[in-house]
Every structure is written in C-alpha cells, then in structure tokens.
Amino acid sequence: MSFKLNARPLLGVLALAACIVAPATAGAVSLQEALNAARVNDPAFRAAAAERKAGKLNEVIGRSLLLPSVVANYSEGKAKYDREFLGGTNTTTQTSDVDLKSYSIQLRQPLYSLDAASRYDLGQELAEEADYIYQFNEFDLIQRIATAYIEVLIALEQLNAANAQKLALAESLKLTQKQKAGGESSRLDVLDVTAKHDLAKAQHLEAQHDLESKVKNLEGLTGLVVVNIAGATDEYIPALPENTVYDNLRQQMLAANPEILVARSRIDQAKIQKKRAFAGHTPRVDFVAVKSLSENDTVNTINQITDSEVMQVQMQLPLFSGFGTTAQVDQAVEKVRQEKAALDEMVLQKDTELRKAYSQCLLGKQKIEAYKQAVYSANEAVKAARLGQSAGLRVQLDELNALQQLYQTQRDYVRTRYETMTALLKLKLLTGAGGPEEVASLFSAFDPASRPVEIPRLLDLPVPGGQQNQEELPLLNLPLLN
C-alpha cells in the first residue's frame, strides 16, 4: 500500500517562506556601515587611536632636547646680619635687618650632545612605530568586523539548512507512522525516524542559539541593533586579480605589512639605543647665558644691587663610571640582535599566513564553481520531484528531501563564497592593501538594496507548547534558484 500526501500544505509553507525571504530593506546593515560604526564604538580601536596620539608626541619630546631651554628664578626673603668690628681693645657690633631679593633668567642651548641627538632620533622612530601600530589595529578591526558579519550570514544559512532538515524529517515521520498503521513499516522504523527527527529539532535549536550569539557579537562590536543584514549579491564571486603572482604579493607584504614594519622600526630603535648608550663616553657641550639681578644677597653687599650678565660655554667630559657605560653598550648590541631575530620570526609567520590565504583564494575559486554547479543540480532535482509529484510518481517527502539537499548545498556554496572572501580580505590586509578604497571596493558586494536578509531572533520564534507547532516553521531567507 502506498500513500500520496496532499501538496497544498507544502505550497502554503513555501508561499509563506517566500514572504519571509523578501523582507523590507529599511534598516538593513551593510558591511561598510558596520565597519564605520565599529570605528566609533569598539573600545579596542578607541584605545588604539589614543595610543597613536600619545606615540606621535614622542617626536615633539625628542626635538625639545635639541632646542634651548630657558629657566627663570626668583627669590625674596629677609635676613639678619650681626657684624663685629675688631679694632684694638674696642669691639663694635652692628646688626642689620635687610630684605633679600634675587632675580635670574638662564638660557641653555646644547651645542654637542650625542645623547640628545639619539633621543631625538628615537622620538622619530617611536612616532613612526605609532603609525604602524595604529594601521595594524585598524586592519585588525576590519578583520574582526568582517569575520563577525560573515559569521552571522553563515549562521543564517546554517539555520535555513537545519530548518529544511527538520521539516523533511517531520514529514518522513508522518509518512512512516502512516505506513506502520497500514502494516508497511515496523515500530523500529518509526523509532529510527523519530530519533532522527528529535536530533534535527535539537540541531535546529542549536542553530538558532548560534545565530543569536553571532548577532550579539556583531552588535557588541558595532553598537548597532541588527535587525536586517545585507548579504552578498549573487553576482559577486571573490577571486584574485588575473596574473597575480605569489612572489609579487610577498614583496608587497615585506614592504607594507604593518607588523613587519613595526619589527623593522624596533631594530632601528635598538640601534639608536646603542648610540645613546655610547654617548656616555662622549662629552657634552652647552652654551649658557645668565642674566641676574640681586639685592643684599650677602653680608658684603648690604645696601647694594648687583646686576650681572654671564655668557659661557660649558663642557662635561665623563672620565669613569664603574664600567656601567660599557655594559650598557654591550647590552644594546644584544638588543639589536634580539630585534633582528624577532623580525626574521615575524617574516616567517606572515609568509605562512600569506601562503595560506593565497592557497585559499585559489582553491576557493574552484570550490565556488563546483558548488555553484551542485546548487544548479539540486535545484533541478527539486523541479523533477515537483513534476513527479504532480504526475503521481513521487510523494511530498521526495520533494522535501530534494529541498533539504538544495538547502544544504546552497549553505555549503554560500559558506565557501564567504570563506573565500575572508581569505581575500586577509590577503589584502597582509600585503598592506587595507586602505579605505580597497576595503570599500571589497565590501561593496554587501548591498542592502540588492540582498537584504531579515534576522529571526529567539524571542520571535515559536516555542514548544505554543499555538504554532515548530514543525510548521517555514524555510527561512533562502529563495530557490530559477
């Protein structure tokens, strides 16, 4: 005995799914909008901006050591002087209560100071390093936002596939129960399908919670309330530009990768610190000019005002420091070697990451083409199942199984496309091509007007025991291919 189920309930479910697939475009968040919001909201990036401003001031601090310094001094007070005049047998005592006043202004201009010159060079290097670190933090923000955004889209596709699997197994359970009632299936068959259906419901619930977690992560980074999100347009296929050569990418990475630039800057800083340590063996020469005015400053100048102008050249020559200066120089030499080794390690690490991203881009293009053909074949299978059902050769379960396969294939296709896009973004950031124009060009594929996707939230979904049964949930957010 065979059963052929009525197709009307399925058509109603698909019609409702089509309504959900085309939500209103208002409020859809694009990837570029998410990035712009994160620049303002993300605490780590705000801290990076403050760190950059502080680092840039090192150049000003270093320059100040080469410029003249001017110091003014002023003092005022009272003094009591007792003077005894000894003359033969007579002693005369004189007591004076006077006001003390002293004014002076001093200018000091370094003429030769290897230490000051080294600290100026160090300030310039620290200012450049601050720019490199900020660029790295900016690239890191782009990577984190793009990853969080794409994880939401992948979680949506996973929810669609889990929902399709749950619906197919629910229909399979109904059919198996009817077959058991007609004697065509055993109780073991019913238990087997029931177990699969229960597992599918658990996986569907897990997919819901995973989506909610991914959305909360994106909202936390951007400070936005994400209701609709923009998926990539169907025409967008992430791929490397033609004639892209790995060696050229590697050379670009060595010249522009911010982490490598930071490592190089620290080698230069270590060399400057070596020169600064050696400055402990060299003299320091300053030009000093002092203008002073004093009144009653000593017992011999009571009731006198002294006005003086002094200009002189001062030289300090270190003679012996207990071998501390020599030890500091040797220490700085070892620091240079340490930073060179750190640069080699950084180059090896980034070279590995670049090769991995490059391979993912090449392989991703091939996988996208393969999955695209698989989606087409799965779509044709759905059409064939529908024709077979209308001709009485297939049952509704066949169509649901075909739909389940289509959704799973579509999920894998979308996942591969987004993962390839992430690898392409990683490749750009590794080579230092993460400027506004490059990022905007890559993110333009996520257009809210062409592919808005509504995000179902846990509070909006029916719960067991409610008025709507979970098995009646429509397929979400994924239109069938024409």
The CATH code of the domain that includes 84 is 2.20.200
pTM value? 0.79
| 186 and 262 fall within a common domain | yes
Domain assignment present for 478: no
| 167 and 292 fall within a common domain | no
| 264 and 372 fall within a common domain | yes
pLDDT given at position 447: 77
Domain assignment present for 419: yes
Averaged over successive runs of 10 residues, the pLDDT of the chain (482 residues) comes to 36 36 55 93 95 96 96 87 68 74 94 96 96 96 94 90 86 84 82 88 93 94 90 83 90 96 97 95 96 78 82 94 93 97 97 95 91 91 80 66 84 90 93 85 80 70 42 37 38
pLDDT given at position 7: 37
Domain assignment present for 481: no
The per-residue DSSP string of 424-476 comes to: HHHHHHHTT--SHHHHHHHHTTB-TTTSEEE---GGGS--TTSSS-GGGPPP-
Please answer whether residues 149 and 229 qualify as being in contact, where contact means their C-beta atoms are separated by less than 8 angstroms: yes
| 179 and 269 fall within a common domain | yes
| 38 and 163 fall within a common domain | yes
| 312 and 234 fall within a common domain | no
pLDDT given at position 119: 96
| 94 and 235 fall within a common domain | no
User: How many domains, in total, are found in the chain?
Assistant: 2
H, E, C per residue of 318-374: CCCCCCHHHHHHHHHHHHHHHHHHHHHHHHHHHHHHHHHHHHHHHHHHHHHHHHHHH
pLDDT given at position 208: 93
| 182 and 49 fall within a common domain | yes
Burial environment of residue 469 by CB neighbours within 10 A (0 to 12, 13 to 18, 19 or more): exposed
Q: Examine the fold and report which residue of 262, 296, 317 is the final residue of a domain before the chain moves on.
A: 317
pLDDT given at position 406: 86
| 74 and 154 fall within a common domain | no
Please answer whether residues 240 and 362 qualify as being in contact, where contact means their C-beta atoms are separated by less than 8 angstroms: yes
| 41 and 143 fall within a common domain | yes
| 239 and 200 fall within a common domain | yes
Domain assignment present for 84: yes
Q: Which residues of 359-397 are buried (b: 16+ CB within 10 A; e: fewer)?
A: ebbbebbebbeebbebbeebbebbeebbeebeeeebbbb
Domain assignment present for 479: no
pLDDT given at position 396: 62
Please answer whether residues 128 and 56 qualify as being in contact, where contact means their C-beta atoms are separated by less than 8 angstroms: no
Q: Examine the fold and report which residue of 294, 317, 340 is the final residue of a domain before the chain moves on.
A: 317
Domain assignment present for 1: no
Domain assignment present for 482: no
d(Cα 427, Cα 354) in Å, to the nearest integer? 6
We report the CATH number of the domain holding residue 460 as: 1.20.1600.10
Q: Which domain holds residue 108?
A: 68-112+283-317
pLDDT given at position 473: 36
CA dihedral 348→354→359→361, nearest 10 degrees, is 170
Strand, helix or coil at 240?
coil
| 274 and 222 fall within a common domain | yes
Domain assignment present for 309: yes
Q: Examine the fold and report which residue of 317, 343, 371 is the final residue of a domain before the chain moves on.
A: 317
